[in-house]
Amino acid sequence: MYIITLKTLSEKQRNEVLEWLRENKADSVQVRRKFSDVYPLAELLQPDFPRLIDLVNYPKRNGINLKIQNWETFNFKVLSKFNTMLGKEFIEELAKGNQCAVEILIYEMLRLRKQQVSKRQEQNAASEKEKEVEVEQQEEIKTKENEEITVVYQNEELKQNEEVEVVEQHEDPKILEQNEDVKTLDQNEDVKTLKQNQEEALSEATDTVDTLDKGKVTSRMILYARYQELSRECQAKWSMIRMYENHVIHLETLLQSREKEIEEMRQVIRGLQGTPL
């Protein structure tokens, strides 16, 4: 706790106080005599300490005891916030109108104002530094993300180039537009049997269509995924065909069994017809 007491100001310090009084038009002897009470001085100091000094707390006083009460209020509500206090004897000198005590108090208040301004500047500088650090961190994050995106693009481009190299091994250059693996499906079956399925597959596959040779498809290029899909469809159809074939065989066997039974019944009937009553 810093205690303000009577002391002798240096010439530089006193000139600083006098300059402040001139700036506030309070350098006349008549005005300075009023500083024995808190209110006139608090009114001048309020712009520098707007959050701490409320003039309502310091009604104008005339008697020394009442002025001392005002200074004690100022001591508690303002100076204590800066870990500073007015000494008891110093308060009495202020209430009596001691000009030396008034100048010392003004100097101490100017010193507190400088500290407040310096602290605010340090806070602003720290805030600016934090903003700069935050901007740098964001730039680093953005740079890292851009590098990661670049690596992804490079890997994707490399992958596409590898796929293109594989596809370029085929004769048709139009297949380079596809991003999936392709395989050559040799079809040597009758066009009339597979025409419908092939047209549907080829319309969704590549733009390559080979010519017909004597009613046979010599070679077509389709997507391997489409080829697998058609292969599964063919397997399903062949399963149905085998099921129907088994059903037909069963019916033929049943029919043969019925014909055999009918023939046996005919023989029995013929035998009964040849037997005398």
Which residues of the chain does CATH 1.10.418.10 include? 2-121
Mean pLDDT of the chain: 76
Select the more confidently predicted residue: 199 or 149.
Answer: 149
Question: Residue 84 has which token pair?
Answer: 């500073």
Residue type, 196: Q
Helices (H), 78-172: 88-96, 99-167
| pLDDT surpasses 50 at 208 | no
| pLDDT surpasses 90 at 255 | yes
| pLDDT surpasses 60 at 37 | yes
Tell me the CATH number for domain 2-121.
Answer: 1.10.418.10
Which among 29-43, 114-128, 202-216, 250-264 has the top mean pLDDT? 250-264
Evaluate whether 192 touches 150 at the Cβ level (below 8 Å). Answer: no
Select the more confidently predicted residue: 20 or 127.
Answer: 20
The pairing of beta strand 2-4 with beta strand 84-86? parallel
Question: Average pLDDT in the 187-207 region?
Answer: 50
Give the torsion sign (CA, 120, 122, 128, 134): negative
Longest CA–CA separation in the chain, Å: 172
**Per-residue CA distances from 188 to 48, 206, 232, 236 (Å):** 100, 19, 19, 20
| pLDDT surpasses 90 at 262 | yes
Question: Average pLDDT in the 227-242 region?
Answer: 89
Q: What is the Cα–Cα distance from 1 to 170, expressed in whole angstroms?
A: 92
Question: Average pLDDT in the 75-103 region?
Answer: 88
DSSP state of 190: B
Closest among 116, 138, 137 to 45, alpha carbons compared: 116
The pairing of beta strand 220-223 with beta strand 182-185? antiparallel
Residue 272: per-residue pLDDT: 84
Residue 142: per-residue pLDDT: 76
Question: Residue 235 has which token pair?
Answer: 């397997």
Residue 248: per-residue pLDDT: 92
Residue 189: per-residue pLDDT: 47
**Coil, strand or helix at 218:** coil
Which residues have C-beta within 8 Å of that of residue 5, sequence separation ≥ 6?
Answer: 87, 89, 90
* Stated pTM of the model: 0.45
| pLDDT surpasses 90 at 161 | no
Which among 33-42, 122-131, 163-172, 219-228 has the top mean pLDDT? 33-42
Residue 2: per-residue pLDDT: 87
Which parts of the chain are beta strand (E)? 2-4, 84-86, 182-185, 212-213, 216-217, 220-223
